C-alpha cells in the first residue's frame, strides 16, 4: 500500500468527520452512518490518505444552511426534541409540515449536529474547488439529495448538495449535477428548476406509486414556460429493475458525453449514491462496483473540477467497497491497488468476500431479472438528445 502516491499535476481532498458517523437513525432504519467508518477504514487500509489532503470537516453554520433552507424549518430542526423526549404541545403540527418524526425522517439525538456536519463537509469541498486548492474534492458524508427548502424527505434533512452547488455558482458560470443514486435526485432538481446555470441529470429506478420518490419521468425536464431560463435543464433517465453494468455504462457515457459537449460545465457535482449497486437493501439494479465506478472514472476524465458526494447505500460492505474504489480512481491509484482487501483492514470480516469486486453470484446468489430493453434505452437517449437541442449559451 505504500506504492500509493499523490497524483501528478492535480490535488484531491477528502472531507470527513468521525463524529458524524456515530449518529443513529434507529434500530430498523436502513440509513447507517456507520458505513462511512467502514469506507474510511478501507480507504486507510489501502494507504490512500497519503495521496490526498485530508480534512476533518466542521459543522456548517446556520447562515450557511440558510442559503437554501427556510429559517422556520432550520429553527425547528435545531430545537426539535428527540423522539423519546417529552413533546412540545404545538409541535405535532410542525412535524407534519416539515415531514419530521415519521419513519423515514425520524427525530434522533444529535440530528442537527449530524445534518450540519454533513453539509459542512460538502461546503468545505465546494470551497476547496472554488479557490483551486483541490481539483477533486470527496465528501462521502453528503449527497442527501431529497431535502427541500422547508421539508425533510427520504432520510434527508439538509440538502448539502444544493448548499455546495450554490457555493460553486459564486465561482463558476455553469455547474453540471449528476446523480447515480438509485433514487431520483428530486430536491436538487427542484432547487435549480429556474436557472440555466445548473443542469441536473439523474439516473434512477422509476415506478411512480411503488418506488420512492415517484418523480423523475423522461418528460420531466423542468417547468416549460417561455420565461423560465431553466426549462430543459433537468434531465431524467428513468430505468427499470436489473440494469447491468454494460447497459448503464453505455447509457451514462452517451448521455453525459453529449451533455458535456452541449452544456460545457465549468464544474461537476457528482452524487455517487451506492444503492444502485446489486444487493443493496433498498436498490433494484444489478450494478457491480466496476460499473458504478466506471461512471466516476468517465467524469474524472473530462478534466473538470469535481465534487464527489455520497448519498444512498444500505448494504454497508458494498457501499464501502464502491466509495473506497472510487476514491482510488480520484487519486489515479485504481490500476495499482490489490483487489484483495488488505489483511489489516479493521472490520475485514464484515466484507464477507475478501475482494473489492465480488461476482454477481457472490453478491446475490440469483441475479435480479433485467427489465431494461435495448429499445427503451435507445428511446431514452433519443429523448435526451432532443432536450439538449434547446440548450444553448
Ligand atoms: N424503499 C424504501 C424505504 N424504506 C424505508 C424505511 C424502512 C425502514 C425504516 F425503519 C424506515 C424507513 N423508507 C423508504 C423510502 C425512502 C427511501 C429514501 C432513499 C434515500 C436516498 O437513498 O435516495 C438518499 C439518501 N420511503 C418510502 O418509500 C415512503 C413510505 C413511502 C413507505 C415506507 N414507510 C416506512 C414510510 C413511507
Ligand atoms: Ca439518481
Ligand atoms: Zn437512494
pLDDT tens per residue, range 219-249 = 999 888 878 999 999 999 999 999 999 999 9
Q: At what angle do helices 316-330 and 289-301 cross, to 10 degrees?
A: 30
- SS3 at position 16: strand
CA distances (Å), origin 62, targets 71, 72, 79, 274, 361: 9, 12, 13, 29, 47
The residue contributing the CA closest to ligand 1 atom 27 is 212
Alpha helices in the chain (DSSP H): 34-45, 62-65, 71-79, 91-97, 111-130, 160-168, 186-191, 245-263, 289-301, 316-330, 360-364, 374-388
pLDDT greater than 60 at residue 1:
no
Q: Among candidates 307, 233, 305, which has minimal Cα distance to 269?
A: 307
| pLDDT (tens digit per residue) in 91-103 | 678 889 999 999 9
Q: Report residues near ion ligand 3: CB below 5 Å.
A: 181, 183, 273, 275, 312
Tell me, in angstroms, the distance from the centre of ligand 1 to residue 78's CA.
Answer: 23
In a 10 Å sphere around its CB, with 0-12 CB exposed, 13-18 middle and 19+ buried, how is residue 34 labelled? middle
pLDDT confidence of residue 374: 98
Please tell me the number of the ligand nearest to residue 105's CA: 1
Tell me, in angstroms, the distance from the centre of ligand 2 to residue 205's CA.
Answer: 8
The residue contributing the CA closest to ligand 1 atom 13 is 104
CB-CB contact of 209 with 305 (8 Å):
no
Q: In the block, which residue shows the cell 429506478?
A: 205
Tell me, in angstroms, the distance from the centre of ligand 1 to residue 283's CA.
Answer: 11
Strand partners, 309: 139, 271
Question: Is the Cα dihedral 277, 134, 164, 24 positive or negative?
Answer: positive
pLDDT greater than 60 at residue 40:
yes
Alpha helices in 131-205 (DSSP H): 160-168, 186-191
| pLDDT (tens digit per residue) in 21-32 | 999 999 999 999
The residue contributing the CA closest to ligand 1 atom 2 is 282
Q: Among candidates 4, 18, 275, which has minimal Cα distance to 146?
A: 275
pLDDT confidence of residue 93: 84
Atom of ligand 1 at shortest range from CA of 154? 18
CB-defined site of ligand 1, < 6 Å: 28-30, 103-104, 144-146, 154-156, 181, 183, 212, 273, 275, 282, 311-312
Mutation to probe ligand 1, out of 104, 139, 180, 285 (largest number of atoms < 8 A from CB): 104
Q: What is the DSSP string of 326-370?
A: HHHHHTT-TTTS-SBPPTT-TTGGGGSSSBSS--HHHHHSSPPP-
Atom of ligand 1 at shortest range from CA of 29? 10
Please tell me the number of the ligand nearest to residue 161's CA: 1
The whole-angstrom separation of Cα 22 and Cα 19 is 6
Mutation to probe ligand 1, out of 186, 210, 212, 271 (largest number of atoms < 8 A from CB): 212
Instruction: Supply φ then ψ for residue 34, to 5 degrees.
Output: -60, -25
pLDDT confidence of residue 87: 65
- pTM for the full predicted model: 0.97
Tell me, in angstroms, the distance from the centre of ligand 2 to residue 351's CA.
Answer: 25
Is 250 catalytic? The answer is no
Q: How is residue 273 annotated by DSSP? A: -
Tell me, in angstroms, the distance from the centre of ligand 1 to residue 282's CA.
Answer: 8
Which of these ranges, 1-5, 33-37, 147-151, has the smallest mean pLDDT? Answer: 1-5
Mutation to probe ligand 1, out of 24, 102, 103, 311 (largest number of atoms < 8 A from CB): 103
The residue contributing the CA closest to ligand 1 atom 25 is 312
**Candidate list 23, 146, 183, 233, residue with the active-site label:** 146
pLDDT band at 80 (very low <50, low <70, confident <90, very high): confident
pLDDT confidence of residue 85: 67
Give Dmax over CA atoms of the chain in angstroms.
Answer: 60
Tell me, in angstroms, the distance from the centre of ligand 1 to residue 26's CA.
Answer: 13
In terms of residues, how long is the chain?
393
What's the mean per-residue pLDDT of the chain? 96
| pLDDT (tens digit per residue) in 106-132 | 999 999 999 999 999 999 999 999 999
The whole-angstrom separation of Cα 318 and Cα 278 is 9
Amino acid at each position: 500500500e505504500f506504492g500509493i502516491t499523490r497524483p501528478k499535476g492535480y490535488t484531491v481532498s477528502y472531507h470527513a468527520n468521525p463524529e458524524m458517523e456515530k449518529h443513529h437513525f434507529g434500530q430498523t432504519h436502513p440509513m447507517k452512518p456507520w458505513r462511512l467508518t467502514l469506507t474510511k477504514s478501507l480507504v486507510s487500509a489501502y494507504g490512500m490518505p497519503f495521496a490526498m489532503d485530508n480534512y476533518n470537516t466542521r459543522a456548517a453554520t446556520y447562515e450557511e444552511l440558510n442559503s437554501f433552507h427556510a429559517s422556520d424549518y432550520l429553527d425547528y430542526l435545531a430545537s426539535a426534541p428527540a423522539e423519546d423526549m417529552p413533546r412540545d404541545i404545538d409541535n405535532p403540527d410542525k412535524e407534519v409540515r416539515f415531514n419530521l418524526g415519521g419513519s423515514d425522517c425520524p427525530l434522533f439525538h444529535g440530528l442537527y449536529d449530524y445534518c450540519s456536519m454533513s453539509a459542512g463537509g460538502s461546503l468545505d469541498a465546494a470551497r476547496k474547488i472554488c479557490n483551486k486548492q483541490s481539483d477533486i474534492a470527496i465528501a462521502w458524508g453528503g449527497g442527501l439529495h431529497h431535502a427541500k427548502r422547508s421539508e425533510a424527505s427520504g432520510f434527508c434533512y439538509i440538502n448539502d448538495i444544493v448548499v455546495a452547488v450554490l457555493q460553486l455558482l459564486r465561482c463558476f458560470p455553469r455547474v453540471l449535477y449528476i446523480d447515480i443514486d438509485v433514487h431520483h435526485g428530486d430536491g436538487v432538481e427542484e432547487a435549480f428548476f429556474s436557472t440555466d446555470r445548473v443542469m441536473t441529470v439523474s439516473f434512477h429506478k422509476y415506478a411512480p406509486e411503488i418506488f420512492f420518490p415517484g418523480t423523475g419521468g423522461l418528460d420531466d425536464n423542468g417547468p416549460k414556460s417561455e420565461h423560465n431560463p431553466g426549462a430543459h435543464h433537468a434531465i431524467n433517465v428513468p430505468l427499470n429493475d436489473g440494469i447491468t453494468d454494460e447497459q448503464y455504462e453505455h447509457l451514462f457515457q452517451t448521455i453525459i458525453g453529449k451533455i458535456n459537449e452541449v452544456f460545457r460545465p465549468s464544474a461537476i457535482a457528482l452524487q455517487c449514491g451506492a444503492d444502485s449497486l446489486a444487493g443493496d437493501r433498498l436498490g433494484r439494479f444489478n450494478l457491480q462496483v466496476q460499473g458504478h465506478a466506471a461512471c466516476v472514472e468517465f467524469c474524472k476524465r473530462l478534466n473538470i473540477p469535481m465534487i464527489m458526494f455520497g448519498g444512498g447505500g444500505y448494504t454497508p460492505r458494498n457501499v464501502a467497497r464502491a466509495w473506497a474504489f472510487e476514491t482510488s480512481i480520484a487519486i489515479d491509484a485504481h490500476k495499482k491497488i490489490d483487489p484483495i482487501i488488505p489483511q489489516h483492514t479493521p472490520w475485514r470480516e464484515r466484507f464477507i468476500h475478501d475482494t473489492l469486486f465480488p461476482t454477481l453470484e457472490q453478491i446475490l446468489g440469483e441475479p435480479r431479472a433485467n427489465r431494461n430493453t435495448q429499445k427503451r434505452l435507445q428511446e431514452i437517449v433519443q429523448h435526451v438528445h432532443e432536450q439538449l437541442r434547446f440548450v444553448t449559451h
